[in-house]
Amino acid sequence: MNFQLTKEQEFVRKMVRKFAETEVEPIAADIDKEHRFPTETVEKMARYGLLGVPIPKEYGGAGGDNVSYAITVEELSRVCGSTGVICSAHTSLCGWPLLAYGTEEQKQKYLVPIAKGEKLGAFGLTEPNAGTDAGGQQTRAVDKGDHWELNGAKVFITNGGYADVFIVMAMTDKSKGTRGGISSFIVEKDFEGFSIGKTEDKMGICASSTTELVFQNCIVPKENLLGQVGEGFKIAMSTLDGGRIGIASQALGIAQGAFDVTVEYMKSRKQFGKSLNKYQALQFEMAEMRTRIEAARLLIYNAANMKDNHLKYGPYSAMAKLYAAETAMYVTTKAVQFHGGYGYIKDYPVERMMRDAKITEIYEGTSEVQKMVIAADIFGK
Amino acid sequence: MALKIIVCAKQVPDTNEVKIDPVKNTLIREGVPSILNHDDANALEEALKIKDQYPDTHITVVTMGPPQAKDLLIECMAMGADEGILLSDRALGGSDTWATSNAIAAAVNKIGDYDLIFAGRQAIDGDTAQVGPQVAEKLGLPQVTYVKEFSINGKEVTVKRALEDGYELIKIQLPCVLTAIKELNTPRYMSIGGIYDAVKADIKVWGAKELELDLNTVGLEASPTNVFRSFTPAPKGKGIMLDKDTVEENAHALLEMLQEKYIIA
C-alpha cells in the first residue's frame, strides 16, 4: 500500500499547475463571460503533451499513466472548469476508445494526431431521447455495401463545435437491442452529410463547446467502423467508465480551486474586527470541506491507479465521480457563501466555479446513474 | 549544424521571504521549495531554441548542489535538454563563487567537447553574477554577460549585451561563455512526455574525485568569500524628470541642479 505519488506524477502536477496558472487562469473569467472556446490554450496544451497524457508514446502520446492524467485535468480545472473538460472529453472519450478498440491503421490515422493534440476529439452517444438509456438510440447506420450511411442527431456533445474526430454510436440492428444492436464509428468533421447543429447556451463551463451533431445520409467509410459490428454499447460503456475519472478530476479541481481562493479570501476579509479565518465556526466548515476534497482525491487516484493496473475499476470510477461531483457542489456553494455578496458577483472566481461545478453531477452519467452503476456492482444487474 | 551546448543551472529557493542564518550569514534552505533559477531557465531556453532549429544539437545541463538537485536536472531534461550532470560531494559543500567556478570549470573540461556555454546572469539566492564570468576566465574563453538577444551563424555568434541605458552589439567566436537575462526569451514549460523520459534518464553524479579537483580549491574552507552582512538593497528612486518647455530650459535647470549638488562648479 503506497499512497505517495510517483516522481513523474509529482512533476506532472508541478508542470500543469504552472501552465494553468500562467496560461489558463488569466483568461478564465473572460472566456467564461464571452462564451469563447479557448483555441489558443488548446494549441498550447497540445505542444506540452496535455492532450495525450495516458496515450503511449508510440501513438503520439506522453506515455503517462491515468493518475497523471487525473492530475492534469484536476490542475486545469482548479483554475478553469471549461479547459478541464476540453482536455477530459478529448482524451477519455475520443483518445481512449481509439487506443482500446482501434485497428493499427485507425490508430495511426486518428489516434496519433489526437494524442499529439493536432486534432481535437469528441464523443457522440447522447440523443434527445437517449441519454443514459442508450438503447433508445435513434441514430441509425445502414450498411450500403462499400460504406455506412448514418442518419440521426446527437445532442450535448462536448467539444462539438471544434472537434475534428468524433466517436459516434449508432443503431445498426434495432432487433438486437442495446447489446449487439449498436455500433461505433469514427467520423471526421468533413464527412459528407455530417454537420454541427445548435450550440447550447449553458449555465456553466461556458467556454467549452457543447453542440448538436447532425447526420443526413452521412457517408462513413467501411474502415471507420470502430471495433466489431454490434460492439458499440460495450465500447460506449467502457469509455464512460474511464471518462468518469476525467469528470471526477474536473470536479475535484473545481472544488480545490474554490477552496484555495476561499482560504485566501478569509485571511484578508475582516468583519467585526477580525479576519474570517479567526472564526472557529468558519474554520470547522473549512475543515469539513478540505476533508471531503481529500476523500474525493483518494477515490479518484485509486480508480485511476486501478485502471493503470488493469483491475475492474468501473464501480470505483463511478464512486469517485459521484463523490467528487457532490463535493464540488458542496465546496463551491460554501465558497460563494463565505464570500458573501462578493461571491455572487463575477469579480471573484467562485461564482463561475459554482456554475461550473453543477454539470459534474450531470454529464457522463448523473449522480443517480453513478448510484445505479455502484448498486449493480453490489446486487448484480 | 550540430552544436554541443553546456548550460549551467542552479537550484534556488522559491521565495522572496528567505530567512538568513544569523550566525553563518547564509540562507536557511530547509523547508523552502526549490526552483530552477530564473536566468538559468532563460539560458536553457536559448539553447533549446538552437536545438529547435538544429535538432542534432546536444544540450548538457550541469548543476552543483546536494543530491536533491537531481530534480532540477529532471526539470531541465523534461524541458528538452539531452543530458544532466550533477556535481555533488560533501567536499564541494559551502563553496563560494570562486570554488564553485573551479568545480564547474573542471566539469566542463571533463565533458571536453563543447561549442558554447550558456549560464544565467545570476542566481536569485546569491545575486553575485560571478560564477559565469569566473568559469569563462578559468577556461580561457571569451565571454559576454547580460545577453538579451542572440543569433548564430556558423561559428559566429551575435549578441546584444544589455546596459542600463542601451545595449552593446557584440560579435564573438565559438567557443565562448554567455550569460542570459530574462529579456532574452520566455522559457518553455516541461512537457508531460519529457517528464516521463527525464525521470527514467540516467543522471551522472560527479564528485571531487571524478572531477580530479584539488581539495584546496573547493568547499567552504577553500572559499575566500566571507559574508559579513546580508541586506536588501534600497530600491532605486525614480530620479528627477525635467519637463520644461524647451531643451534650453531643461539644460539650464539641469546645470543648476548639478551645481547645487557641487557635482560641477
Range of the domain at B10: 4-206
Following CA atoms B212, B215, B217, B223 in sequence, which dihedral angle do they give, to the nearest 10 degrees?
A: 140
| Cell numbers placing A83 | 479547459
Q: Which of A6, A18, A49 sits opposite B192 (nearest CB)?
A: A49
Q: Tell me what percent of the residues of chain A surpass a pLDDT of 70.
A: 100
ipTM: 0.92
CA distance B13 to B10: 10
| Residue B125 confidence (pLDDT) | 80
| Chain B nearest C-alpha distance from A66 (Å) | 12
**pLDDT for A199 beyond 90:** yes
pLDDT reported for residue B28? 75
**Grid coordinates of A30:** 473572460
- Give the Cα separation of A164 and B202 in Å (integer): 39
Give domain status of residue B122, yes or no: yes
Q: What is the mean pLDDT of residues A147-174?
A: 97
What's the average model confidence in pLDDT over A133-142?
87
Distance of CA A103 to the CA centre of its chain: 24
Residue B261 maps to a domain: no
Which residues of chain A are in CATH 1.10.540.10 domains?
Answer: 7-116
Chain A CB contacts of B189 below 8 Å: 15, 18-19, 48
Q: Residue A63: its chain B contacts at CB < 8 A?
A: 193, 196
DSSP string, A105-147: HHIIIIIHHHHHTSS-EEEE--BTTBSS-GGG---EEEE-SSE
Interface test with A, best of B192, B195, B197, B203 (most A CBs within 10 A): B192
Give the residue from A306, A335, A334, A332 showing the smallest Cα distance to A319.
A306
Determine the CATH number of domain A7-116. 1.10.540.10
Which member of A6, A15, A18 has the closest CB to residue B192? A15
Q: What architecture (CATH level 2) is domain A121-233?
A: Beta Barrel (2.40)
| Whole-number Å distance between alpha carbons of A250 and A244 | 9
Residue B14 lies in a domain: yes
- Whether A225 has a pLDDT exceeding 90, the answer reads yes
Rounded to an integer, what distance in angstroms lies between the CA atom of residue A46 and that of residue A61? 10
Half-sphere exposure of A325 (CA within 13 A, CB side): 25
Find chain B residues with C-beta within 8 A of A6's C-beta.
199
- What is the DSSP pairing of strand B204-206 with strand B83-87? parallel
Which of the four pLDDT bands, split at 50, 70 and 90, describes residue A317? very high
pLDDT at A178: 86
**Which of A9, A10, A12, A15 has the most B C-beta neighbours within 10 Å, making it the best mutation to test the interface with B?**
A15
Q: How far is CA A60 from CA A91, A96, A305, A314, B48, in A?
A: 12, 13, 22, 26, 21
Q: Check residue B15 and give its pLDDT.
A: 65
Residue range(s) in chain A whose domain bears CATH number 2.40.110.10? 121-233
Q: Most B CBs within 10 Å: which of A5, A6, A14, as the mutation test of the B interface?
A: A14
Quickly list DSSP for chain B.
---EEEEE--EEE--S---B-TTT-SB--TT--EEE-HHHHHHHHHHHHHHHHSTT-EEEEEEESSGGGHHHHHHHHHHT-SEEEEE--GGGTT--HHHHHHHHHHHHHHH---SEEEEES--TTT----HHHHHHHHHT--EEEEEEEEEEETTEEEEEEEETTEEEEEEEESSEEEEE-GGG--PPPP-HHHHHHHHHS--EEE-TTTTT--TTSSSTTT---------PPPPPP-------SSHHHHHHHHHHHHHHTTS--
Of A119-133, A153-167, B96-110, B129-143, the range with the highest mean pLDDT is A153-167
Residue A132 confidence (pLDDT) above 90: no
Whole-angstrom Cα Rg for chain B? 21
pTM: 0.91
Q: Give the dihedral of Cα atoms A349, A363, A184, A129; nearest 10 deg.
A: -130
- Amino acid making up residue B38: H
Record: contact A48-B191, CB cut-off 8 A: yes
Q: Is the pLDDT of residue A94 over 90?
A: yes
Q: What is the pLDDT of residue A130?
A: 83
**Does residue B26 lie in a domain region?**
yes
∠ CA A99-A324-B193, rounded to 5°: 35
Q: Is the pLDDT of residue A313 over 60?
A: yes
Torsion angle defined by CA atoms of residues A284, A285, A287 and A289, in that order, rounded to the nearest 10 degrees = 170
Report residue B79 as a C-alpha cell: 524541458
User: Domain of B142: which CATH number?
Assistant: 3.40.50.620
State yes or no: pLDDT of A256 exceeds 90: yes
Q: Rounded to an integer, what distance in angstroms lies between the CA atom of residue B253 and that of residue B244?
A: 9
Using a CB-CB distance cutoff of 8 angstroms, which residues of chain A are in contact with residue B198?
A: 11
Residues A81 and A25 sit within 8 Å (Cβ to Cβ): no
Query: In total, how many domains does chain B have?
Result: 1
Average pLDDT over residues A155-160: 97
For the ranges A81-85, A130-134, B83-87, B229-233, which has the lowest average pLDDT? B229-233
- Which CATH number does A234-379 carry? 1.20.140.10
A2 or A355, which is more confident? A355
Taking an 8 Å cut-off on Cβ atoms, the answer to whether A48 and B74 are in contact is no
Q: What is the pLDDT of residue A274?
A: 95
Residues of A designated as active site: 364
Output the pLDDT for position B88: 95
Write out the residues of chain B at the interface with chain A, using a CB-CB cutoff of 8 A. Answer: 74-75, 78, 188-196, 198-199
Residue ranges in chain B modelled with pLDDT below 70: 15-18, 29
A56 shares contact with chain B (CB less than 8 Å) = no
**Which is higher by pLDDT, B231 or A213?**
A213
pLDDT in tens, A235-248: 999 999 999 999 99
Distance (Å) from the alpha carbon of A77 to chain B's nearest alpha carbon: 17
Residue B20 has a pLDDT of: 75
Q: What is the CA radius of gyration of chain A?
A: 21
